[in-house]
């Protein structure tokens, strides 16, 4: 029997923020493309010191996913 993986959105359950790299995985993008989208303001992000993080509620809203 083949093990079936859940949706990448399932990995977001219970998390307040994720990294840009994690958002790239959820969106099916490469790391560079995700950072470029964040830089252009196309991906919802926040700065925390030197880190760029993606708030999960904002990402889900941006994707049109009901919470």
Report yes or no: 37 and 28 within 8 Å, Cβ to Cβ.
Answer: no
Domains (ranges, CATH) in the chain? 13-63 (1.10.10)
Q: Let me know if 57 is exposed, middle or buried by CB neighbors in 10 A (0-12, 13-18, 19+).
A: middle
Interior angle at CA 31, CA 26 and CA 36, nearest 5: 105
Give alpha helix (H) positions in 1-67.
20-27, 31-39, 56-63
Q: Which two tokens stand for residue 18?
A: 């994720």
3-state secondary structure of 58: helix
pLDDT digits (tens, 9 = 90+) for 30-40: 999 999 999 99
Residue 49's pLDDT band (cuts 50, 70, 90): very high
pTM of the entire predicted model = 0.81
């Amino acid at each position: 029997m083949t093990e079936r993986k859940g949706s990448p959105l399932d990995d977001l359950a219970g998390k307040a923020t994720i990294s840009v790299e994690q958002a790239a995985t959820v969106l099916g993008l490469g790391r560079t493309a995700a950072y470029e989208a964040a830089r252009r303001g196309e991906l919802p992000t926040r700065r925390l010191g030197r880190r760029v993080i993606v708030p999960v509620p904002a990402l889900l809203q941006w994707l049109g996913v009901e919470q």
